[in-house]
Structure 1
Amino acid sequence: MDDSKQEKRKEEYIFGLDIGASKLNLFVGISEGENVRVVECGDFPLKNADEFDSVVDTIQQAVQVIENSTRVDVRDVYVGIAGKHVRSYSFQGIVTLPTGEVREEDIDSVQRQASAVPPSAGEIIHVFPGEYSLDEEEHIRNPKGRSGRRLGVEVQVVTARQNAMQNLGKMINRAGLNVAGYVLEPLASACSVLTDDERELGVALIDFGAGTADVAVFVNDSVRFTTSIDYAGNVITSDISRCLNVPISLSKAEEIKKKYGTCTINNLIEDETFPVPAVGNRGDVQCSRKLLANIITARVEEIFRLLNEKLKKSQIDTIINGGIVLTGGCCALEGIEDVACRVFKKPVRIGRPKGMSGIQEAYQNPSYATGIGLLYYANKQHREKKKNETSKMQIPDTVKKGFQHFVEIIRKYL
């Protein structure tokens, strides 16, 4: 491959950075039209996600490994963002139509008015327009070209606390990278796991990770609601550390959760046990796997109940007709979808990344949904940018062709 082709190909590379509470994923993909080919994934444990220098060092380590394996410079990354500091607000806007017909500029105007959030709301990450109203008519998806006097819209604005955004940006910049864009993590996950039918009906996506459990409700291409709680996988690990009949460290409890953890209690043999190393090299202690399953299931059920209460409090549960989709590392727990089904009383499935080429079987895992989804989101942004650039270029080309045609007519008749 010659240098020019190599350079052209490098422009098609896209990068997604998912910084979780226990691990960091750096995904590399290549845009192939509407599709994305996953080239590489750096999966790195985070020793301390709350320590600034530790995160910077891990990002740098990830970048070095990825650059060595792909021979492509990693610079502009799309970064996932989630947590309790992320909020969603519903705002309404209404404008008078000066021409009596809805134009593109009227749609832009009403969206800007509706998304003019106060500074106290935080920094805007996304603005999702919902349905429009035109005079007395409601539930309009695209009002362009219709006649009327007043155009209204309800938008969902997703914001993040400003200092949290600044600190995240600082870490990434300190590691030598640029932020191409921040993406709500459930939105990124949705790009890789949701179906068109689920979106059309209304679906809640729950990203159940180590540090937080985040939920976002989607209707078509719009996020209607998002919230987060600090109860997630790390709390389950802490429960295991405290509640087994032998004291163990958090790291050992995490290992036990991954190896022996389950939410399917009824399928366990009554006296089934697993070995746990006792403190001070005193040999192994046999612990009940049923006790472990009860510890895990109780906390998982509580986490789902807290999320369900938030959905009901916002009266958003009534539009979730497409069910619940679970993603995130905790989805590796056997039977977790059955617990969710009991709590939410809706159909539940595990969301695995799909629809993109180059995904090895190991990446078709719920814990990679956000990282791969970031590539999907980045690809969509790149395609829209190219489309806009092409449209701008077509105007001068049209003028040029028109002038050439005019010259040909003059020559013909002179």
Structure 2
Amino acid sequence: MDEARNEMRKEDLIFGLDIGASKINLFVGMVDGASVRVLECGDFPLTNADEFDHVVETLKNAAQSIESTVGVDVHDVYVGIAGKHVSSFNYRGLITLPTGEVRSQDIETVKDQASTIPESAGQIIHVFPGEYTLDDQPGIRNPKGLNGRRLGVEVQVVTSRPNAIQNLDKCVKSAGLHTVEFVLEPLAAAYAVLTEDEKELGVALIDIGAGSADVAVFVGESVRYTVSLDLAGNSITSDISKCLQVPISLSKAEEIKKKYGTCKINNLIEDETFPVPGVGDRGDVQCSRKLLARVITARVAEIFKMLSDDLQKHKIDGLINGGIVLTGGCCALEGIDEIAEKVFHKPVRIGLPKFFSGIQEAFRKPSYATGIGLLHYAARKQRENRRNETGKQITVSVKKGLQWIKDLVQTYF
């Protein structure tokens, strides 16, 4: 850490904030050439994610933890966003090419036309262009420089209810931080866990945390579909609290899920039990671990079935030739990938964060994929901004050079 601190420059620092239903992860990293170096994470549990003041106070603690440990000021953060308030829509744009050749400005124009959406659709978070059409030719990934008369594109527009964004931004500001950009959480996680081969073939990333199961389908570098389901880890915990031989609190059910939960029912001995505190002073009650596994597996299978049905309904399942990648806190449940394979009838793997250096093993878990992915997203944005700035500087330098030559000619000739 001391070596990293000595090498740190303020302009190289990046911050990713993942506010989940059960935790806050505030990551700080550095842009290290083409990769990301993770420096530290403020990792704090949320006992009540619906209480504004509690979330703000926890976020302040996470920021203070980063500042005291790493010795940097936390300010500009990339913030993950997900949940039922997030929606996605397909829109199509079509323009007539004024010069008969596709220019960069024509590509931007047709994308802008396609992403002109009604106000009722919500506030735009991302616009993902798919493949282009040129006259009667479909399936063009980059039409720049081609000749034609009409250029079309279909885009995936991801929006959120304005009040949800405002409340999230208010929370960040109240903690003394500034939101650079809101980033769809499964998009961020994809930067940390997906391979180029998977994206090229077509892959669905399912980020299943405590509050929601969020899906993004990638084909190449394009996001073709997104959806969010308000059933996830908290739903499993609620089932456990109601379905065991003795009623228990949600906090105790969460503890039992983490300690004894599994989706591998067949691996359990028939009479294997675990202790559950009885109500009042009645002492411990022995509960069946096989019953616990059945409760968990039933809810997990239902979540995956609802997502599978949605992908089929929107005719997206045929694009997923590279399989399913699971990430998020619920991936800690042993055998969850096997349940997914049975439901989706596709190869499934657990997505662990990679493509980064620094404190590796501590954060190589699916629950940290979004936070680390936000750093990758921020690093990519930073590199793009630097390229644009360099391009502008070169343009200015060329203009100055041409003006100098012009002035010289006018003076002496």
Q: TM (normalized to structure 1)? A: 0.95
The AA in structure 1 aligned to 2:308 is N
Alignment of 1:100-115 (within 5 A): 100-115=100-115
Match of 1:319 in 2: 319
- Map Cα deviations across residues 231-262 of structure 1 (whole Å, 9 max, x no partner): 11011111111111012111111011001100
Match of 1:293 in 2: 293
1:275 CA drift (Å): 1.4
**Structure-2 change in CA distance of 1:336 and 1:191 (3 Å):** same
Match of 1:67 in 2: 67
CA distance in 1, matches of 2:131, 2:281: 64
Match of 1:124 in 2: 124
CA distance in 2, matches of 1:362, 1:258: 18
1:282 CA drift (Å): 2.8
Identity of aligned residues (%): 67
The AA in structure 2 aligned to 1:81 is I
- Map Cα deviations across residues 217-238 of structure 1 (whole Å, 9 max, x no partner): 1111111111111111011111
- Map Cα deviations across residues 251-306 of structure 1 (whole Å, 9 max, x no partner): 11101100110000111111111111212233222111111100100000001001
**Structure-2 change in CA distance of 1:171 and 1:7 (3 Å):** farther
CA distance in 2, matches of 1:38, 1:398: 38
Match of 1:245 in 2: 245
1:399 CA drift (Å): 3.7
SS in 2 for 1:334: coil
Match of 1:186 in 2: 186
The AA in structure 2 aligned to 1:370 is T
1:33 CA drift (Å): 2.0
CA distance in 2, matches of 1:396, 1:83: 44
CA distance in 2, matches of 1:405, 1:35: 42
CA distance in 1, matches of 2:78, 2:201: 28
- Map Cα deviations across residues 15-58 of structure 1 (whole Å, 9 max, x no partner): 01100001110001011122100000111011211111111111
CA distance in 2, matches of 1:91, 1:312: 19
Match of 1:307 in 2: 307
- Map Cα deviations across residues 364-384 of structure 1 (whole Å, 9 max, x no partner): 000000000000000000110
**Structure-2 change in CA distance of 1:69 and 1:8 (3 Å):** closer
1:200 CA drift (Å): 0.5
SS in 1 for 2:265: coil
| Pairing 1:45–2:33 present | no
Structure 1, 221-230 or 326-335: larger mean CA deviation: 221-230
| Pairing 1:371–2:381 present | no
CA distance in 2, matches of 1:181, 1:406: 43
Match of 2:154 in 1: 154
Q: Does the 8 A contact of 2:8 with 2:30 survive in 1?
A: no
CA distance in 2, matches of 1:24, 1:241: 24
The AA in structure 1 aligned to 2:223 is V
Match of 1:209 in 2: 209
CA distance in 2, matches of 1:8, 1:239: 47
CA distance in 2, matches of 1:203, 1:113: 28
Alignment of 1:384-403 (within 5 A): 384-401=384-401
SS in 1 for 2:275: strand
Match of 1:91 in 2: 91
Match of 2:77 in 1: 77
SS in 2 for 1:248: coil
Match of 1:225 in 2: 225
Q: Does the 8 A contact of 2:40 with 2:359 survive in 1?
A: no
1:6 CA drift (Å): 7.1
Structure 1, 398-407 or 30-39: larger mean CA deviation: 398-407
1:397 CA drift (Å): 2.2
CA distance in 2, matches of 1:250, 1:395: 61
Q: TM (normalized to structure 2)? A: 0.96
CA distance in 2, matches of 1:162, 1:108: 25
Match of 1:9 in 2: 9
SS in 2 for 1:11: helix
Structure 1, 282-291 or 253-262: larger mean CA deviation: 282-291
SS in 1 for 2:180: strand
Match of 1:276 in 2: 276
Structure 1, 209-218 or 8-17: larger mean CA deviation: 8-17
- Map Cα deviations across residues 145-177 of structure 1 (whole Å, 9 max, x no partner): 111110000010000000110111111111111
- Unaligned runs of 5+ residues in structure 2 are none
**Structure-2 change in CA distance of 1:70 and 1:344 (3 Å):** same
| Pairing 1:267–2:272 present | no
Match of 1:346 in 2: 346
CA distance in 2, matches of 1:215, 1:309: 13
The AA in structure 2 aligned to 1:290 is K
CA distance in 1, matches of 2:363, 2:340: 24
1:402 CA drift (Å): 5.2
- Unaligned runs of 5+ residues in structure 1 are none
Structure 1, 397-406 or 85-94: larger mean CA deviation: 397-406
**Structure-2 change in CA distance of 1:103 and 1:266 (3 Å):** same
The AA in structure 2 aligned to 1:177 is L
CA distance in 2, matches of 1:157, 1:410: 53
1:406 CA drift (Å): 8.0
CA distance in 2, matches of 1:199, 1:311: 17
| Pairing 1:141–2:141 present | yes
CA RMSD for the aligned pairs?
Answer: 1.9
- Map Cα deviations across residues 301-342 of structure 1 (whole Å, 9 max, x no partner): 001001111111111111010100000000000000000000
The AA in structure 2 aligned to 1:310 is D
Count of matched residue pairs = 409
